[in-house]
Structure 1
Amino acid sequence: MSNKLILDNISKVFGDGDTSVKVLDGVSLQVKAGEFVAVVGPSGSGKSTFLSIAGALLSPSSGRIILSDQDVSKLTPKKMNQLRLEKIGFVFQASNLIPYLSVRDQLLLIAELAGSPIKEAEKRANDLLTHLGLAHRRDHYPESLSGGERQRVAIGRALMNDPELILADEPTASLDSERGRAVVQMLADEVKARGKAAIMVTHDKRMLDVCDRVVYIEDGKLSEQPKRVAMSL
């Protein structure tokens, strides 16, 4: 399997001079197609910064980001925005659905922003909602959905433009254990079935057995951990 994402010797420093803080210190990671990687670590360890850099939302102070053989650091801001729309799907702690859009329109908005043909987008949205068990909810609005349903819509939205990379930031934080596991399992199944690369930041160690690998961040350093060890940290 080829590498979909390469983070090469990434460092991130906030501030200048004596007030500067190094949040990431020479972090490297490679994620292959079909691979689901969990990132764990204590609060303030750099997990969210790491995910933001992987998703081209934040630029590193040094190091390279390669997504599908493309050096992200060499892109203009306009091309960076297009890359995020076309190649990266985000799933956040809160589903962040737009309250006045129906379930189906949440997905269609992503396609519209990317300039996808409307007929093609409508078919993809309907197919995704059927696959995610949400076809019967496609005309409903977020307020009428359960927490698990909202996160499934968020997964559909993340997959709408067939991205190369899926990034999930604490996707189970607002869910109970059963619904949280269902969401993570659904993410893992999508990664395998569609040959995506995925990184999930999580504090919920009960979800780690669903992932292929676990990496641990502390004091800006990254180390790979066997799942049984990570679950006991």
Structure 2
Amino acid sequence: MGAKLILDHVNKSFGDTNTLNDISFEVKAGEFVAVVGPSGSGKSTFLSIAGALLTPSSGRVLVGGEDLSYLSEKERHRIRLEKIGFIFQTSNLIPYLTVRDQLLLIAELSGEQTAGEKKADELLEQLGLSHRTGHYPEKLSGGERQRVAIARAWMNDPDILLADEPTASLDLKRGRDVVEMIADGVKRRNKAAIMVTHDERMLDVCDRIVRIEDGKIR
């Protein structure tokens, strides 16, 4: 299994503050990695750099074998659309789109609208949402909204999936359901995934746990 995500001696500074210090890290296909650490330790910056939302001050980032170091913002946008799936702390669903249309928007942005309809229906069925396809986010439970977010993240068949505190607004059972669905998708699709979390009750679902403190991997 080749590495889907590589951070190679990555540093990130904001002014005089060093947020990440010499981070070297990789995630292989089929691997689900939890990233933990105290607030302010650099976890969010780490995830933003892995997701091509921020550029490192130095070092290299490779996603699906493509080096992001010298890409323009337009090219980085393409990488985010084609190779990265995101799941956020809150589901970030668009309030005026139905469940199915949340997924079809990704297909449209990717230029694969025709094939996207079948894929959307398959994903919603896999995640137990077939009976909710015409509902709007306000009619869904918190767990259902996060499941829609998972389905949306898989729509572009990304090389890597990045989840930022995906269980933060959920109770234990619904949170665990969400994390197990992510893990299942990672294995079934042979993708790489990182989950930043404070919820240590979910760590046994992951293949590996990485701790960040003071901008360094411990």
Same structural fold, with TM-score higher than 0.5 when normalized by the shorter chain:
yes
Q: In structure 1, how many angstroms separate the alpha carbons of the residues matched to 2:147 and 2:163? A: 12
1:134 matched to 2:129: yes
For residue 35 of structure 1, what is the aligned residue in structure 2?
31
Q: Normalising by structure 2, what TM-score?
A: 0.99
Query: Following superposition of structure 1 onto structure 2, how do residues 130-169 of structure 1 map, counting pairs within 5 Å?
Result: 130-169=125-164
Q: Deviations over 1:123-153 (max 9, x none)?
A: 0000100111001100000000000000000
Say whether the 8 Å CA contact 1:41–1:217 is kept in structure 2: yes
Q: Deviations over 1:183-214 (max 9, x none)?
A: 00000000000011000000000000000000
Say whether the 8 Å CA contact 1:82–1:114 is kept in structure 2: no
Deviation of 1:111 after TM superposition, in Å, equals 1.1
For residue 227 of structure 1, what is the aligned residue in structure 2?
none
Selected match of 1:201 from 196, 202, 205: 196
For residue 171 of structure 1, what is the aligned residue in structure 2?
166
1:3 matched to 2:3: yes
Say whether the 8 Å CA contact 1:11–1:23 is kept in structure 2: yes
Say whether the 8 Å CA contact 1:34–1:195 is kept in structure 2: yes
For residue 228 of structure 1, what is the aligned residue in structure 2?
none
For residue 229 of structure 1, what is the aligned residue in structure 2?
none
Q: Which runs of 4+ in 1 moved over 2 A?
A: none
For residue 18 of structure 2, what is the aligned residue in structure 1?
22
Say whether the 8 Å CA contact 1:10–1:62 is kept in structure 2: yes
Q: In structure 2, how many angstroms separate the alpha carbons of the residues matched to 1:112 and 1:97? A: 16
Bigger shift: residues 71-80 or 119-128: 71-80
For residue 221 of structure 1, what is the aligned residue in structure 2?
216
Q: In structure 1, how many angstroms separate the alpha carbons of the residues matched to 2:45 and 2:176? A: 25
Q: Deviations over 1:58-88 (max 9, x none)?
A: 0000110011111011222111101100100
Q: In structure 2, how many angstroms separate the alpha carbons of the residues matched to 1:65 and 1:183? A: 28
Deviation of 1:113 after TM superposition, in Å, equals 1.1
Q: Indicate the SS of the match to 1:73.
A: coil
Deviation of 1:115 after TM superposition, in Å, equals 1.4
Q: In structure 2, how many angstroms separate the alpha carbons of the residues matched to 1:68 and 1:97? A: 26
User: Which letter does structure 2 place at the counterpart of 1:106?
Assistant: Q
Q: Normalising by structure 1, what TM-score?
A: 0.93
1:46 matched to 2:42: yes
Identity of aligned residues (%): 69
Deviation of 1:98 after TM superposition, in Å, equals 0.5
Q: Indicate the SS of the match to 1:74.
A: coil
Q: In structure 1, how many angstroms separate the alpha carbons of the residues matched to 2:147 and 2:99? A: 10
Aligned residues: 218
The CA RMSD over aligned residues, in Å, is 0.6
Query: Following superposition of structure 1 onto structure 2, how do residues 80-159 of structure 1 map, counting pairs within 5 Å?
Result: 80-116=76-112, 118-159=113-154
Question: Which segments of 5 or more consecutive residues in structure 1 lack a partner in the other structure?
Answer: 224-233
Question: Which segments of 5 or more consecutive residues in structure 2 lack a partner in the other structure?
Answer: none
User: Which letter does structure 2 place at the counterpart of 1:212?
Assistant: D
